Each structure stands twice: as structure tokens, then as C-alpha cells.
A and B are shown apart, each in its own frame.
Chain A
């Protein structure tokens, strides 16, 4: 929030396409066009919602924006520059700047890890002498996501749904990212918990100055939280809506 114009693009996609091969029968490998020439920009500090029916390519887009998957064609940009896919080391560094939080938090943590190991992993995975990292401030991190420190020695998969969701949020914050991608993060939870977590995320975005991409089926939630929504269908952006208060206000 502090530096630069508010509408600078943190993340961008220019005309990206992605196709998956549906393996199976010997004859004719069916192909699925998950992304079909999609372009978008995520501006610094905004909360952008991606809504669309199942299979419209939301998760695929999220993986591309988190630099986890390289699109077949088109370019993905970070802070105005195209991502150097061939440079393995640079990519590893870049991936830390954007964190993807998966839909099912239980599957996003290793069954072998305790909560503490889960939280330590982002630092362990990044053993770079060139850029040493600050020691982890456990108390502050856990307070930030409102997680009880008692869970630290417990096996991560044994936590409750809400605790797990807070855990993966906390883990995503360890690398101190610029942008957070939430892939249907609240959809598995009951309404009151949804509301609590949504508020928590809003608070984090505010306090840390994060840019946030929110993927959801729930357009009501999108309208409530986001500054701007993009509607996806069959791998394309088909509509863009701005939140009422950000533009004219008052239109339903």
C-alpha cells in the first residue's frame, strides 16, 4: 500500500492457454482446454474475486499465477515483468512471493508432519545462503491467525477443519508473500466459520498490505469481500464487475 501507484499490476496473465490431456483409452487422447487465451491483471493491494462454474479453469489459473504450472502459451507476469520460466533458481524465489492456499487444507499438509513441522517447512525448503531469513516469530504468527500454540506438537491432519485452515494460512504467511491466492478456501466450512475466516483474511490483507485473489463459487461472498470480480467460463474471462462501493455505489 505504501509504495507505488495503487493500480500497478502485481500479477498479470497475458493471453495464456493451457490444455490437459485426458489419458485413458488407447484411441484418441481427448484434450481439455482448461485456459483459452485468458488475460487479466491483479492490481497491487486489491482483492480480486474469480468466480465461475466448476471446470471453468479457476484452479488452473491460480496454479499458473502462483508459478506452479507453466501455461502452454502466453505469459505470466510478476510486478510488470514476464516470469523467467527457464531460470529454475529465480523461479524458486518468485514462487515464495505468491502463496496459493488450497481448497482442502487437509490435503495441503503432509500426513507425516506435525503442526510445527508444517509451519517450519517454508523456511526449511528455502536453504539459500545468499538470502538468509529471519527467525520465525511463532507467537506473533500464531496470534495473527488466532491459532492456539497447544496444537504445535500435534499431527497436522488431526486438527479440526477451522484450525487446519488457519494453519495453512499461517504457513502461507511465513514466506512473507506479496500476494495471496485463496482457492475456494472457505467453501468447505459452515457459515459462521466462513465469516470468521473471511474477516481474518480481510484483516491480514489490511495489516500486511497483501494483494489477494479470491476464488469462489459463491458470488455473494465475492461481492461482499472483493473490490472487483472476474467471471470465468470455459477458460475465458467473460465478465468483469466492480464492487458497488468502489465505483458508482448503490446499484444492486
Chain B
């Protein structure tokens, strides 16, 4: 029962990751493309019924223009429909090893479609959210993986070495848990150069966040291994002259699997939030590269973003992603309890 639910959430999370991974393809605009005339433009929803009330099979958008009576607001330019097409040609751009010449969807006119509106510089929010989510989610997933791996190694060391190694590592675990992680994270980050290319920042963030997350998995792995070692069948294997390696790989480590998976699901949202918080404070990737954190931090700036509802979409996207991870963790934990 629990496994079924867990598998469902795992697929859903995988789907999110795949979509954001293909941001170059899915996003209708480049994340840095500015259209100065479209500062804080509201979303252009896909429409099927035009201004004259006629129905069209192919959805379309109207371009936006400033309202002559109220220059803060935008109105639809209803004299021309811009049909939304799939697989529209675009300027060639690199996605990993591939060169893309198409976008998944868009309009053929340069006006473009802004599903979730634009920001202060007239950049497409939907595209920026996709790119930003890619950075934040993958940083979180990789940092969570790193934390779990470090925890596994540390916990295994505790059990195989024992003695002072065990005592020392457990002391470090307590220390890591009782310290304020955010101060620690920011503290270490602060001693490194502030403006860097996005790739080093990405790697650095993963390394920092992952390293700080090792404590809880390490303690749990240690506990699991300790009880596992006392089991009769492990003692029996020792009786066959089994080496420590045989015991570890055949009997002990397989038992940590459930714990590790649950810990991973619990850690990833924390790591995503760590990256988001870092970039929220301007310590992550620098403009124009988006992260969910920097997209959210716009809301606290005094440029009137607060009053534009669509500027909250990054927060909503983040909330949904975090919620998905929590539901996965919940399902995994239930599976273990049953």
C-alpha cells in the first residue's frame, strides 16, 4: 500500500525533474531575454474565443500594449490573433550536447506568449521559473544524495571502526545538528568569492548543503548497522569466516536501503530550501541566471512586485515541489511502519 503511493509520488517527482531538465526546450523564451516595454506585464492566457466572440480550434494569445488611460496597466491588442503552435522554430541554442532549433510551444510572432506574466525587466516568468526550478531542484536532489552518501560512509565507519572514530563522529553529528545550519551555510559561503559563474556556484552550493546534511543519515545508518550486526544470520556468516567486506556488502548495507531512501526524501526538500535561501540572500547564482530563491526575493524588493499576483508563481512552484517531496517521504515512512 505504502510502496504503491510512494511509487506514484516518485514518478510525479521524476516528471517534474524531467520537465525542468528540458527547460531549453519547454520554455517559450530565453530566461535572460528582456522586453523593456513589457515590464510587469500580466499573464497572456491561451484563448479559444476571440474579441468578437468567435471560436477558434487553435488556441491563440493577444499581444499586450500599455493602456493609454492608465500607463501602469496593460490591455490586449485584439486586432491580431497570435496562434499558439507546437514545435515552433527558434534561434539555435545548446541544450547539453544537442543543438536545439525548436521550442516545444510558442507563437510564430516575436510578441510571444507569457503564460505567467513578466518581471520588472519584461522577462518571461514561466521560462524563468523553469530554469530557476531546474537549478534549485537539481541542486537539492544532488545535495540530498551527497548528504545521504556521506551519512552512509560516516555511519559505516562508526560501526566498522568503532572506538574513538565512532565517538568522534557521533560528537560531530550532535554538533552539526545543534548548530544553526543557515548561519553555518552562509558563514562558509561568505569566505568564498561572491560573484562566480553559475556552474561553480551550483557545484559549490551542492557541496556545502550536502556536507551539512550528513548528520542525521549518519546517525540512523549507524543505528541500523549496529542492530543488524547483532542479528543471528550475520553472526552465522561471521562463523563462516566471512570478511568484514562480505558482511558489509552482503548483509549489513542492504538493510540500510529503506532508511536511506526515506532520509533522501526528507533531505531533498531541506536541501532545495537551503539553495533557495542562499540565492534568496543573494549568495547563490547571480543575475541574470534565475533560481527559485532569487525569483522569490524579488517579492521583498520595493519595486511593486508584491502587488502583481503573478510574481508569486515562483513561490507557488516551490511550494508544490516541496510538498511533493514531503508526500513521497510520508509514503515511504508509512511503508516502513507497516
Contact = CB atoms under 8 A, between A and B. Distances in A.
A163 B11 CA distance: 41
Contacts of B243: 92, 125, 127
Nearest to A174: B240
A175 B241 contact: yes
A108 B238 CA distance: 12
Interface residues of B, number: 16
5 contacts: A96-B240, A100-B239, A108-B233, A122-B240, A126-B242
Interface in A69-98: 92-93, 95-96, 98
B236 interface: yes
Contacts of A29: none
B231 A125 contact: no
Sorting the interface of chain A by its residue count into under 10, 10 to 19, 20 to 34 or 35 or more gives 20 to 34
Contact of B233 (A98, A99, A110, A122): A110
Interface string B209-235: 000000000000000000000011101
A109 B239 contact: no
B4 interface: no
A110 B241 contact: no
A124 B241 CA distance: 10
A171 B232 CA distance: 14
Contacts of B239: 66, 68, 95-96, 98-100
Interface of A: 63, 66, 68, 92-93, 95-96, 98-100, 102, 104, 107-110, 112, 121-122, 124-127, 168, 171, 174-175
B277 to A, nearest CB: 36
Contacts of A110: 233, 250-251
A100 B238 CA distance: 10
Contact of B240 (A63, A104, A109, A121): A121
Contacts of B242: 92, 121, 125-126
Contacts of A104: 232
A103 to B, nearest CB: 8
B246 A95 contact: no
B180 interface: no
B81 to A, nearest CB: 62
